[in-house]
Amino acid sequence: MFKLPWREFTGGHMLMAMLLFFATIIGVNLIMAYSAVSSFAGLVVDNSYVASQHFNEKLASMRQQQALGWTVDLEVLADAVTVDVRDAQGARVATQVDVEMTRPTTNRDDHFLHADQSLGPVHLPTTLKPGAWDATVSLSTADGETFLTTRRVVIGAPAEVPQ
């Protein structure tokens, strides 16, 4: 039997130490599991099987989009998103602009920005918290042409140090 200078260490003490140790481990695991599940559902699409059935349609749409030759200049700042669309010759294209701002790891701050048909840069005011964002830009013209692009941006990233 091990004796501490002030008291004897018994089997009851060892049992309490073991129970407290495992209770702490289990408690931390439960907190981490709750945090993980409540912050991000882990889903990109609601039903992956149904989404896979439309793969060929999406592929054809992407090829048609590439054939348009449009370029999309996207500037995302903490207080605004600016979108400028040009055709293959560099002329501005009149489009309706929808921008979906989403976080890569949670859906709490997701929001949509919309601008009606306009020619030239579209300036959409918003409020973006620091961190990573995915900007999904959907464009459509009066003739029915559509264009979709997604870009990852980081708001509030530290400036790079010049070498």
Q: How far apart are CA 112 and CA 34, in angstroms?
A: 28
Q: How far apart are CA 33 and CA 37, in angstroms?
A: 6
pTM of the predicted structure, to 2 decimals: 0.66
pLDDT of 37 reads: 79
Domain ranges of the chain: 69-155
Comparing CA positions, the residue from 103, 95, 93, 108 lying closest to residue 136 is 103
Return the CATH number of the domain spanning residue range 69-155.
2.60.40.1080
* Residues 135 and 101: beta-carbon distance below 8 Å: yes
Express each pLDDT in 30-82 by its tens digit: 999 998 877 766 667 778 888 888 888 888 888 888 888 888 899 998 899 99
pLDDT of 157 reads: 59
The number of CA neighbours under 13 Å toward the Cβ of 53 is: 3
The band of 2, judged by pLDDT with boundaries at 50, 70 and 90, is: low
When pLDDT is averaged across residues 6-18 and rounded to a whole number, the result is: 88
pLDDT at 99 over 60: yes
